[in-house]
Structure 1
């Protein structure tokens, strides 16, 4: 059943609730959705990717966040706030305390319960509503597979990687699948 207008909450109320609350929620057009916890494998992959990116992030004066930083997407008149597994901004004016508006890279580690949302809803929201986004990375945790969506001058291009490395233009870095999956057995 769809929420009525009076059931919806405003952006400011949502942000205040997230600052004071113990449970994280994503926000989509006035509706909030509680976040679930992550598996051990999920956490190890997130840490491995963040560890591999950190030297380049620091070298370029960017900022990298894992799990607890929201991304604000405004598209087609609606606001959404998502919690990506990893988000990177290199914009000096991306200075909100609790969310980013100008990420250049977003990474989601797929799970059975989130894969459909990450591949459809978030892909559409991020690619349509974040002009600063250059790359969106989807990392499988049950097999060695990374899907990279990259913005070109005219469109988005999708590549699937199952071995070797992939180029992250946002950081001018080659990220190997060995580094991504170093701490987990597949």
Structure 2
């Protein structure tokens, strides 16, 4: 993630207006607009694989999967983030015409060297403020490894690690697949 040099304060409404016409994506951190770096080929392949699987899995469930271009708004913290994937089952998100969702149940981030510490730390801590948020998934792109964190109570998140040859489960949306399906078309499975 590359931070903008500007220290001008922008309101959430100004941010949304700028973002609608910007050729690049930005996250919004308490009045500051932060440019996002481009994704690697592995990152794009993994998110594409998972997106295809989730769209098919969620058909006729009342839940919807949003890919990399949908923002999650955290109004209490004055933040907008672009997760790699988010699933919401909340009707308020489904019927809203806004350029963001407020009530994700599942959030997925594909880790990169430049974002891993933030995705694991501050970003995860911020996402925990969302009442409906129940599952957080971190997918490594340089090795076949997925970490899933599942909310058990407000302050307790249980981790689960998935490695090559295993089946991945996102319990809160009833999703299961072979980990190989998420890493399809990458050379990582043959290593």
Do residues 80 (structure 1) and 72 (structure 2) align?
Answer: no
For 2:178 and 2:60, the matched residues in 1 are separated by 19
Q: Match for 1:168 among 167, 170, 182?
A: 170
Give secondary structure in 1 for the equivalent of 2:149: strand
For 1:14 and 1:87, the matched residues in 2 are separated by 21
Q: Is the 8 A contact 1:168 1:175 kept in 2?
A: no
Alignment of 1:31-110 (within 5 A): 31-75=32-76, 78-94=77-93, 95-110=96-111
Task: Tell me the TM-score normalized by structure 2.
Answer: 0.88
Give secondary structure in 1 for the equivalent of 2:147: strand
Tell me the CA shift for residue 93 of structure 1: 1.1
Tell me the CA shift for residue 153 of structure 1: 3.4
Q: How many residues align?
A: 180
For 2:44 and 2:175, the matched residues in 1 are separated by 22
Tell me the CA shift for residue 21 of structure 1: 1.5
Tell me the CA shift for residue 176 of structure 1: 2.2
Task: Tell me the TM-score normalized by structure 1.
Answer: 0.90
Q: What does residue 120 of structure 1 align with?
A: 121
Runs (4 or more) in structure 1 with deviation over 3 Å come to none
Q: Which runs of 5+ in 2 are unaligned?
A: none
Aligned-pair Cα RMSD in Å:
1.7
